[in-house]
Structures are given as structure tokens and as C-alpha cells.
Amino acid sequence: GEEVAQTPKHLVRGEGQKAKLYCAPIKGHSYVFWYQQVLKNEFKFLISFQNENVFDETGMPKERFSAKCLPNSPCSLEIQATKLEDSAVYFCASSRPGQGRDEQYFGPGTRLTVT
Amino acid sequence: GESVGLHLPTLSVQEGDNSIINCAYSNSASDYFIWYKQESGKGPQFIIDIRSNMDKRQGQRVTVLLNKTVKHLSLQIAATQPGDSAVYFCAENIYGNNRLAFGKGNQVVVIP
């Protein structure tokens, strides 16, 4: 597609429950990024993929967060045992081949609310 | 609400006037910079980018200026329109590392 697609738009989970978010990058883009935005302010980088391979995971809280980009499937970000502090909007972005240093196109985000 | 307690720096500008938004970036090794616009409920939208071998780049109604000496980036919007009302973020990128580091947002409110 011509736009990054993210589902669901909103997700509500009780503390301790699992949350799974999905992202379909723009067709032909080989880099996928996940960012977390809390309170409409700064974005925190979580992880990036080059095709199905993890490129940079330095932002991931590894104990509870995991992500995948498998061939012919949407990419996913999963949070096990969610905490209140995980409440945020999670954005996926994709970019063309070229070491990921081209413009990153962002999806509309998934708003996760942990209660 | 989601923005309780959050106060973004806000620029109020009359429609038709020019706007300037400033950003101080943190890493002197950054060599690629982008301005994004975020409207309420939406993802960041690319406005303009600049690489470190340039100090100025112009787009349609927008100009980005880069001062590497003081690690400062600015976005100028000419003839601001109501549709320019949004939160603007600068982002930096370091060669060899494709993640973006975003700065704090600046809210622009255009007064008709």
C-alpha cells in the first residue's frame, strides 16, 4: 500500500494483560521502525528492522517487549504483562532501501491504554 | 485527558504571517535532520529534511536552516495558514544508525 497501516487504532488492556500491535509498511520499503509517544510529546525509539532482521533494538525494554517482522505478514510489537507506564501511542514507520536514512513515513499510530 | 499537565511551547501566529520554530539538537555527530508536523490524532508527517553538508534548504513555503556550530535547527513557514496549526518536531539522525532522535514538540496555533 501507499501508506503505513497500523491496527488496532485503540487498544485497552488491564494491567498484566498482553497487548499486540500490528504494522503493515509501505510496499517496497525495507526498513520498519517502532516508536513510543507518551503524552503527545517526545518520541522514544524502540526497535528497527531491515526486512525480517532486527537492525537496532537498543530502545526495547527487553523484559516485556518483543517485535517481529516476518515475510508476507504484518510486523508486530507485543507487550507481555502490560504496566500503567506502557500507556502511550505506538507509531510504526517505514523507509525505502538505502540504509534507512531516507524519509521515514509514519502510520497513524495505535493508542494503548493500560488500566 | 491525555494532555493533562503537558504544556508544549506554543507559538501563536496571525494567518498570513511568517512562523519560525527553533530546535536545539544534542549530538554533534548527527548529520541528517528532519522536521515533522503532527496534527491531533495523527502520525508525524514529513515536512522537510536537510543533511549536514548544507546550511539551508527550501521547500514549498518552508525553509530549514542548520547551524552546526551551535547545534541549532530552525523551520520557517511563510504565509502561515490555518492548516499549519499542529505540533512540530525536529529529529536528528547519525550516520550508520538509522533511528531518529526526536526533540520536544513546539505547538503552532494559527489565528484566523
Structural domains in chain A? 5-114 (2.60.40.10)
Domain span holding position B54 = 29-111
With a pLDDT cut of 70, the percent of chain B lying above it is 95
Report the number of distinct structural domains present in chain B. 1
Look at residue A88 and tell me whether its pLDDT is greater than 60: yes
Query: CA B60 → CA A67, B52, B65, B80, distances in Å?
Result: 37, 20, 14, 12
Asked if the Cβ–Cβ distance from B43 to A106 is below 8 Å, we say yes
Look at residue A99 and tell me whether its pLDDT is greater than 60: no
Q: Which of B8, B45, B93 sits opposite A101 (nearest CB)?
A: B93
Q: Examine residue B10 and state whether it is found in any structural domain, yes or no.
A: no
Residue in A closest to B42 by C-alpha: A108
Render the burial of B74-94: b for 16+ CB within 10 Å, e for the rest.
bbebeebeeebbbbbbbbbbb
Asked if the Cβ–Cβ distance from B87 to A106 is below 8 Å, we say no
Mutate to test the interface with B, among A3, A9, A40 (most CBs of B within 10 A): A40
Model confidence at B1, in pLDDT bands (50, 70, 90)? very low
For residue B93, the chain A residues in CB contact (below 8 A) are 101
Q: Examine residue B50 and state whether it is found in any structural domain, yes or no.
A: yes
CATH number of the domain at B42, please: 2.60.40.10
pLDDT average, residue stretch A22-38: 95
- Counting one residue from chain A and one from chain B, the pairs whose CB atoms sit within 8 A come to 69
Give residue ranges of A with CB < 8 Å to any B CB.
Answer: 4, 31, 33, 35, 39-43, 45, 48, 55-56, 58-59, 91, 93, 95, 99-101, 103-109
Q: Is A85 helix (H, G, I), strand (E, B) or coil?
A: helix
Look at residue A18 and tell me whether its pLDDT is greater than 60: yes
Q: How many CB atoms lie within 10 A of CB A111?
A: 17
pLDDT digits (tens, 9 = 90+) for B42-89: 999 999 999 999 999 999 999 999 999 999 999 999 999 999 999 999
Asked if the Cβ–Cβ distance from A55 to B98 is below 8 Å, we say yes
Q: Is B8 helix (H, G, I), strand (E, B) or coil?
A: coil
Residue A82 confidence (pLDDT): 97
Q: Examine residue B102 and state whether it is found in any structural domain, yes or no.
A: yes
Asked if the Cβ–Cβ distance from A41 to B99 is below 8 Å, we say no
Residue B95 confidence (pLDDT): 74
Q: Are A91 and A29 in contact (CB under 8 A)?
A: no
Residues 6+ apart with CB under 8 A from A105: A3, A4, A26, A29, A93, A94, A95, B46
Q: Is A68 helix (H, G, I), strand (E, B) or coil?
A: strand
Residue B4 confidence (pLDDT): 46
Look at residue A1 and tell me whether its pLDDT is greater than 80: no
Q: How many CB atoms lie within 10 A of CB B9?
A: 12
| B102–A contact, CB cutoff 8 A | yes
Residue in A closest to B96 by C-alpha: A99
Q: How far is A18 from chain B (nearest CA, A)?
A: 22
Strands B30-38 and B45-51: antiparallel
pLDDT average, residue stretch B15-40: 94
Look at residue A89 and tell me whether its pLDDT is greater than 70: yes
Model confidence at B3, in pLDDT bands (50, 70, 90)? very low
Q: Examine residue B22 and state whether it is found in any structural domain, yes or no.
A: no
pLDDT average, residue stretch B33-43: 94
